[in-house]
Amino acid sequence: MNILAADTSSEVASVALKTENSYEERLISGCFSPSEDLLGVFEELLESAGITMKDLELLAVTKGPGSFTGLRIAMASMKGISSALSIPLVSIPTLDVIYDTVRDYPGPVLSAIDARKKKFYFSVKENGKTLIEDRDGNPEDAIASLGKDLPVPMLITGPDALLFAEKLSMIDDSMPFIIDSSSPRNLSRSLIKLAIEKYRKDGADDIGEGPVYIRRSDAEEALERKIKENADGRL
């Protein structure tokens, strides 16, 4: 099966193309601009594999949480290809994909993405079970939910594992944890694996499926403040 996969939910992008005979992935950080460069990376991978967009059989993309801009651009790009060429599209929660890359760890795994404003998008799973659902919070929330008496040190992974660990240590250095030394890693293999599983079980995404935002955008918060200010002015 020819599968194109992309994750642009953080500052480190994962893109890959899997065919019947090849697999090539890219881990991109720094000056990468999803809006300008994503389709170019797709074209490079397709050319390298000797196939075209029409030969694709499945599209896989992360659906969030993560960067508002990154999620929108990747989702819109994949939906455009899906709609134009009638290729099924499957989206997978970002933190689920991050966890899958280290799912064999024998203890709790905290997957973290920097959400700015002194918070993180994070979740905690252990042996495939969810201990903390996807959340827009801070290290204090993790301590409050998990406690400190962990039989096995918590593994902190994800593109912003080191930053989360630093914040956690500043708050309370008694909680046992280790940092995933391979973070940030390419998420493409896990994204493709989970997308295939979901597609075989549930089929392609509904046409109305879109990014999942745990936090409201700055524009939404600004609009709510304006509405509140106007309401207060009429009182």
pLDDT of amino acid 103:
96
Mean pLDDT across 226-234? 55
pLDDT of amino acid 208:
85
Mean pLDDT (the chain, rounded) = 90
Degrees, nearest 5: CA angle 76-78-80: 65
Residue 220 confidence class, pLDDT cut points 50, 70, 90: very low
Give the Cα separation of 233 and 229 in Å (integer): 6
pLDDT of amino acid 224:
44
pLDDT of amino acid 128:
94
Q: Which fold has domain 102-179?
A: Nucleotidyltransferase; domain 5 (3.30.420)
124-175 pLDDT, tens per residue?
A: 999 999 999 999 999 999 999 998 788 899 999 999 999 999 999 999 888 8
The answer to whether residue 231 scores a pLDDT higher than 70 is: no
pLDDT of amino acid 221:
47
Mean pLDDT across 67-79? 93
Which of 80-89, 165-174, 194-203, 217-226 has the least mean pLDDT? 217-226
CA 140 to chain CA centroid, Å, is 22
pLDDT of amino acid 212:
85
3-93+185-220: CATH, from 3.30.1540.10, 1.10.287.70, 3.20.20.70, 3.30.420.40 = 3.30.420.40
What DSSP character marks residue 26? Answer: E
Q: Which has more confidence, 226 or 134?
A: 134
| SS3 readout for 27-84 | EECCCCCHHHHHHHHHHHHHHHHCCCHHHCCEEEEECCCCCHHHHHHHHHHHHHHHHH
Q: Which of 25, 23, 59 is nearest to 186 (CA)?
A: 25
15-51 pLDDT, tens per residue?
A: 999 999 999 999 988 666 766 789 999 999 999 999 9
Mean pLDDT across 69-85? 94
Q: Indicate where the chain has its CATH 3.30.420.40 domain(s).
A: 3-93+185-220
